[in-house]
Amino acid sequence: MTTPDRGPRRPGGARDRRGGGSRPPRGGRPLVDPARQAAYEAVAAVQRDEAYANLVLPRILRELRLQGRDAAFATELTYGTLRTSGTLDAIIAVAADRAVSRIDPPARDALRLGAYQLLRTRVPPHAAVASTVDLVRAVTGPAVTGFANAVLRRIGVRSWDEWITEVAPDRGADPLGYLSVAYAHPPWIVRAFAEALGEPETGDLAETEALLAADNTPAPVHLCARPGRVGRDALAAEVGGEPGRYSPFAVYLPGGAPGDLPAVADGRAHVQDEGSQLVALALVEAPLDGPDRRWLDLCAGPGGKAALLGALAAERGAQVTAVEVAPHRAALVEQAVRGLPVTVEVADGREIDATGFDRVLVDAPCSGLGALRRRPEARWRRQPADLPPLTRLQRELLSAALRAVRPGGLVAYVTCSPHVVETRVTVGETVRRAPFPVEQVEARLAGVAESGPAVQLWPHRHGTDAMYLALLRRAD
Ligand SMILES: C[S@@+](CC[C@H](N)C(=O)[O-])C[C@H]1O[C@@H](n2cnc3c(N)ncnc32)[C@H](O)[C@@H]1O
């Protein structure tokens, strides 16, 4: 069974390493339906090429001209399979009586899609098995179809809950291990969430469980109605969306491709999680003595917060400097802030010379553990070893921000991760080592009840990504 990853065949066609642009065989019927083909190609590209599902899938859907229900089904299969792949693998390993690492990648990816359909969707079992066997035949050839058929039939005799009882540790003895399997998150992430929520690992972990469930629930797209360009209610009416719960600029979109909306195309609105809107607004609204004209965004790419800061700056007579180290991401910032009082600089934020800024945003590079609901593969790709270099960079960027802000000025430190080493620990250590006095001041987010020296948003409590904000004031 085990052979090197030779790259899958296109379903119904030749072997292809690119993972996109499939066509049915000339003159013949496609071997698999286009929605499953799209899902397979996206899952394979994520595994094989380390692609990102949110980037690769829209391209595949366009190439296969999938829309409406077919596109929605392909999206559900792709996102659901990637999210749950750790647990699906545990189930497949029992049903196949071998480690998943010993199954050829194309067959493994197809089996994951089949197992997901059997256990997590309403697809009738016979259709899930037959279509997956067809897919296996198309991507690996006929030799493996008997194996795939037998594995899927074994999987189909139990429900998801019954499989969890079979493959997860006992909940009473190892609650964290149980949640990790039942909600398909690596144990180290479950542990980090429990710690950030203040729940002891051996407790009942009720909030941690709610958070893990929220991570597995598809998140609506949030739009930001740019201040001065369109009102939130007018935008909601225009796009058939709903005004957001907290941010005065947020609109929740019921579905569809936001890039196709005229309001996004013409720069009146942009796609941005409501939590991101709230933290940018919190920096701008925090009380400040003295001048308030020069704002700095030290980690600006791809430019969502720079665009909101720019729109607010235009209303308040301020100017924004947006710094981004990666040139291609700086180009995205340029696009995002067109027509706004924002100057973009390609530079390492740790080395900027300019000083005297009144307000500074450090939206630090982080593990992204707060946005797992939007990035289905991220939980399995991230590793604990990613944290030490990230936290070093976070401290250096925050130190640079404290040097760049004027005495009396404000710095907002933001992450889209709730991991305490990226939040509390980074802030605490950096403040402790600062060469001048720095105080943490009250952080308030529009409409959000919680406030304090730092605020942590949560998908299961607020419906936003798990954004963290600490607000710091450099003493006069
Ligand atoms: C969390 S993202 C920022 C998101 C952005 N503020 C937005 O709202 O669209 C972090 C960004 O910091 C950039 N970055 C990483 N290291 C940097 C450095 N040393 N100086 C400046 N930017 C850096 C990354 O390339 C990435 O674009």
Identity of the residue numbered 319:
Q
In whole numbers, what is the pLDDT of the chain averaged over residues?
93
**At 30, is the pLDDT very low, low, confident or very high (cuts 50, 70, 90)?**
low
1 has a pLDDT exceeding 50: no
Ligand 1 atom index nearest CA of 302: 9
Measuring from atom 27 of ligand 1, which residue has the nearest CA?
A: 301
Q: How far apart are CA 176 and CA 101, in angstroms?
A: 25
- Å from CA of 55 to ligand 1 middle: 19
Helices of type H across 50-174 = 53-63, 68-83, 85-96, 105-120, 125-140, 145-156, 160-167
Beta strands 405-415; 250-253: pairing state: unpaired
- Å from CA of 293 to ligand 1 middle: 23
Task: Tell me if residue 416 is catalytic.
Answer: yes
23 has a pLDDT exceeding 60: no
Q: How far apart are CA 476 and CA 460, in angstroms?
A: 39
Q: How far apart are CA 170 and CA 173, in angstroms?
A: 5
- Å from CA of 300 to ligand 1 middle: 5
Ligand 1 atom index nearest CA of 297: 6
Ligand 1, residues 296, 299, 362: which to mutate, most atoms within 8 A of Cβ? 299
Active-site annotation holder among 224, 299, 366, 416:
416
Enumerate residues 6+ apart whose C-beta is below 8 A from 392. none
pLDDT at site 20: 34
Ligand 1 atom index nearest CA of 323: 21
Ligand 1, residues 325, 346, 423: which to mutate, most atoms within 8 A of Cβ? 325
pLDDT tens readout for residues 417-464: 999 999 999 999 999 999 999 999 999 999 999 999 999 999 999 999
**At 83, is the pLDDT very low, low, confident or very high (cuts 50, 70, 90)?**
very high
How much is the pTM?
0.93
- Å from CA of 199 to ligand 1 middle: 31
pLDDT at site 419: 98
**At 11, is the pLDDT very low, low, confident or very high (cuts 50, 70, 90)?**
low
pLDDT tens readout for residues 257-296: 788 899 999 999 999 999 999 999 999 999 999 999 999 9
Q: Are 11 and 139 in contact (CB under 8 A)?
A: yes
Report the 10 Å Cβ neighbour count for 9: 18
Token match 């299969």: residue? 77
Ligand 1 atom index nearest CA of 305: 8
Four-point Cα dihedral 148, 151, 157, 163, nearest 10: -130
Ligand 1 atom index nearest CA of 303: 9
> In Å, how far from its chain's centre is CA 92?
26
Ligand 1 binding pocket, CB closer than 6 Å: 276, 299-305, 323-326, 329, 348-350, 363, 365
- Å from CA of 315 to ligand 1 middle: 25
**At 10, is the pLDDT very low, low, confident or very high (cuts 50, 70, 90)?**
low
Exposure of 466 in the CB half-sphere (CA atoms within 13 A): 26
Ligand 1, residues 324, 346, 350, 464: which to mutate, most atoms within 8 A of Cβ? 324
pLDDT tens readout for residues 168-199: 999 999 999 999 999 999 999 999 999 999 99
Q: Are 218 and 79 in contact (CB under 8 A)?
A: yes
Phi then psi for residue 26, to 5 deg, are -60, 125
Exposure of 109 in the CB half-sphere (CA atoms within 13 A): 29
- Å from CA of 324 to ligand 1 middle: 6
Q: Average pLDDT in the 130-156 region?
A: 96
